[in-house]
């Protein structure tokens, strides 16, 4: 069981959360000239690093807020958690 420190609610088991994927992926800006490659990068391409990974989780069975979690994909150690609005 992973335990995730929700910045709003405190330390909670992983079963209260739902995963949201890589938090570093940026959606192309609205009303700008966007190439197919930009969309490709956003929709499909992922670094999926072995090691530190900044990712989105939603505290779906708690405060329902989206948060950012910095986690090691090899050891599953969680280093830091942030509110979605916080800069990392």
Triad 45, 46, 47: Cα angle to 5°: 135
Site pattern 5..34 for other proteins (x: CB under 8 A): --------xxx---x-xx------------
Give the contacts of 87 (CB within 8 A, at least 6 positions apart). none
How far apart, in whole angstroms, are the C-alpha atoms of residue 42 and residue 3?
29
Q: How far is the CB of 21 from other proteins (least distance, A)?
A: 7
Which is nearer to other proteins, 40 or 86 (by Cβ)? 40
Residue with tokens 């948060």: 67
Total binding residues toward other proteins, as defined by CB under 8 A: 28
How far apart, in whole angstroms, are the C-alpha atoms of residue 7 and residue 21?
18
Pick out residues in 29-88 that bind other proteins (CB under 8 A): 36-37, 39-41, 43-50, 53, 55, 71, 73-76
User: Which residues are near other proteins by CB under 8 A?
Assistant: 1-2, 13-15, 19, 21-22, 36-37, 39-41, 43-50, 53, 55, 71, 73-76
């Amino acid at each position: 069981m992973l335990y995730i420190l929700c910045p709003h609610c405190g330390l909670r088991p992983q079963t209260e959360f739902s995963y949201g994927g890589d938090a570093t992926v940026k959606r192309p800006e609205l009303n700008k000239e966007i190439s197919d490659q930009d969309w490709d990068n956003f929709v499909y391409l992922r670094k999926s690093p072995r090691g530190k990974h900044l990712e989105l989780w939603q505290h779906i069975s708690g405060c329902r807020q989206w948060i950012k979690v910095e986690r090691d994909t090899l050891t599953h150690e969680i280093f830091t958690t942030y509110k979605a609005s916080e800069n990392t």
